[in-house]
């Protein structure tokens, strides 16, 4: 298998279609990709590096977006919990100023809960 692979390494991944099935595992796929990269012209290699840089930037954006979404979800959960506690406090007859103090909800929001 290695002899076949090494004698045809200059093919690169673009010829993976014609490679026998037994050579289509991740190890050989990576080997042919590396061979293809090794055969790049200087300009192709620069473009390849730029595409890797762009993928890194894209990954950072995706990760940041996920972190923001997670943070917003936590904030929304806390706000919903505060509203639930405020409703329970109102039902127990607690004064509005105490509810504001312990939940952080504005007096106006509490008044809308009373309605």
Q: What is the pLDDT of residue 3?
A: 56
First to last CA, the chain: 78
What are the residue ranges spanned by the domains of the chain? 1-39
Give pLDDT, residue 74. Answer: 94
Place of tokens 């993928």: 55
Give pLDDT, residue 13: 44
Averaged confidence pLDDT in the chain: 81
Region for residue 20 given its phi and psi (left: phi exceeds 0; alpha: psi -120 to 50; beta: otherwise) = beta
- How far is C-alpha 115 from the chain's CA centre? 42
**pLDDT at 76 (0 to 100):** 94
pTM of the model: 0.48
Tell me the pLDDT of the chain (115 aa) as tens digits.
555 555 555 544 444 456 667 767 777 777 777 777 888 889 988 888 888 888 888 888 888 998 999 999 999 999 999 999 999 999 999 999 999 999 999 999 998 988 7
Would you state the structure tokens that stand for residue 17, as one six-digit string?
Answer: 């279609």
What pLDDT was estimated at residue 52? 85
């Amino acid at each position: 298998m290695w002899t076949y692979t090494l004698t045809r390494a200059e093919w690169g991944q673009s010829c993976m279609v014609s490679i026998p099935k037994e050579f289509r595992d991740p190890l050989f796929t990576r080997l042919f990709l590396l061979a293809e990269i090794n055969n790049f012209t200087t300009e192709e290699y620069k473009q390849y590096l730029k595409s890797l840089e762009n993928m890194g930037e894209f990954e950072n954006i995706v990760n940041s977006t996920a972190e923001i979404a997670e943070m917003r979800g936590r904030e929304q959960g806390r706000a919903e919990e505060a509203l639930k506690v405020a409703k329970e406090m109102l039902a127990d007859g607690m004064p509005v100023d105490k509810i504001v103090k312990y939940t952080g909800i504005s007096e106006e929001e509490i008044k809308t809960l009373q309605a």
